[in-house]
Amino acid sequence: MPRVRPGETIEMRRVRRRIDALDRRIVELLNERARLGMAMGEAKAEAGKAVTDPEREREVLLRVATTNDGPLLQADLIAVYRRIIAATRHLERSARGRGRGPARDRDDADPEP
């Protein structure tokens, strides 16, 4: 059971519990996305394709931007997704490092918007 913080109201505790539950779901979804990224890395290696696909990364960022209806600022959400894409790219390279093609084809610079 989470500890009660001094000055914490019942409403604050309730909202924090909801945030904690949502954080657990976000972690699960991020790990599911990461596993799919690893599978994509293997598929790209088998097809002889590069890890980095700037056009696809732009598509993802554009879709995120057009889906966002707030309250997160567009720039903040895009920054989060750029980091997710960079981490996924790293996992794709790791999948290649298991003997399925070149491990690196470019640095992990953030994708362009």
Give residue 111's pLDDT.
53
Decide if 4 is inside a domain.
Answer: no
Give residue 95's pLDDT.
75
Decide if 78 is inside a domain.
Answer: yes
Contact predicate 110/86, CB 8 Å: yes
How far CA 53 is from CA of 38, 67, 73, 87, in Å, comes to 14, 21, 26, 14
Decide if 45 is inside a domain.
Answer: yes
pLDDT band at 2 (very low <50, low <70, confident <90, very high): low
Tally of structural domains, the chain = 1
Q: Quick check: 28 pLDDT over 70?
A: yes
Decide if 102 is inside a domain.
Answer: no
Decide if 112 is inside a domain.
Answer: no
Give residue 101's pLDDT.
41
| Domain encompassing residue 40 | 10-96
Decide if 111 is inside a domain.
Answer: no
CATH number, domain with residue 92: 1.20.59.10
For the question of whether the overall pTM of this predicted structure is more than 0.75, the answer is: yes
Decide if 43 is inside a domain.
Answer: yes
pLDDT digits (tens, 9 = 90+) for 43-88: 888 999 998 999 999 999 999 999 999 999 999 999 999 999 999 9
Contact predicate 88/34, CB 8 Å: yes
Decide if 109 is inside a domain.
Answer: no
pLDDT digits (tens, 9 = 90+) for 12-26: 999 999 999 999 999
Give residue 63's pLDDT.
97
Q: Quick check: 97 pLDDT over 80?
A: no
